[in-house]
Chains A and B, each alone.
Chain A
Amino acid sequence: SQQGEEDPQALSIQEGENATMNCSYKTSINNLQWYRQNSGRGLVHLILIRSNEREKHSGRLRVTLDTSKKSSSLLITASRAADTASYFCATVGANQAGTALIFGKGTTLSVSS
């Protein structure tokens, strides 16, 4: 079952624009992570934010976390065509057995030049 739900499902922008993707989840978490997947390829870890953090930056990526609303957002600034991919949020539940990531259904980002 899915823990997170990304919004929007699909996003099309021009190069240079910013892209914002949102994720909502259902249960208390230890951390939330964002991954990128190029078509049919493996997932690549982008950034992790712990439950006691509110914002984190990595290069052109900015992630926020609001545990009271059980939501997170991923901002990609100055998008490039190479950013075209699917983006997934994933959580590790605070009370789950094991440490598996539970993924949302993803946002498909298309950046045109």
Chain B
Amino acid sequence: DSGVTQTPKHLITATGQRVTLRCSPRSGDLSVYWYQQSLDQGLQFLIQYYNGEERAKGNILERFSAQQFPDLHSELNLSSLELGDSALYFCASSGQQGPYGYTFGSGTRLTVV
């Protein structure tokens, strides 16, 4: 157990639907990062939150959104899903001292059918 918890582990849904992925960071970590991993695009950074506020955006589609709550857990919302959104979605967290030694969750495998 890495200390970063992601739920659910697997998700199968139909095109056009909306899903929410959840991440609980390692205790004490203020930053949460979301990544998408697919065979053709590799590991793509989506978005970072720090202590409840958006810190940086990467290749996140407008159909996707995220937030970090006061208890520091984060949710990634994916809407109007397309077949191409099928991927592994990872959450990572890091401590307030800097980006050292990110801790990754085990991921959510999303399959859009």
Contacts and interface: CB of A to CB of B under 8 A. Distances in A.
A42 B43 contact: no
Contact of B48 (A31, A100, A106): A100
Interface in B8-49: 31, 33, 35, 42-43, 45, 48
A99 B45 contact: no
Given A100-B45, A101-B33, A103-B43, A45 B58 contact: no
B106 interface: yes
A87 interface: no
Contact of A98 (B4, B55, B109): B55
A76 interface: no
A106 B42 contact: yes
Contacts of A98: 48, 50, 55-56
B42 A2 contact: yes
Given A99-B99, A101-B99, A43 B104 contact: yes
B104 A42 contact: yes
A68 B42 CA distance: 26
Interface string A33-46: 10100001111110
A106 B102 CA distance: 17
Contacts of B92: 43, 101
Which 3 pairs from chain A and chain B are nearest by CB?
Answer: A98-B56, A99-B99, A103-B43
Interface of A: 1-2, 30-31, 33, 35, 40-45, 48, 88, 92, 96-106
Interface string B78-104: 000000000010101010001111111
A35 B33 CA distance: 16
Contact of A43 (B42, B45, B58, B90): B90
Given A42-B106, A98-B56, 9 more contacts: A40-B107, A45-B101, A45-B103, A48-B100, A98-B55, A101-B33, A102-B45, A103-B35, A105-B42
B99 A31 contact: yes
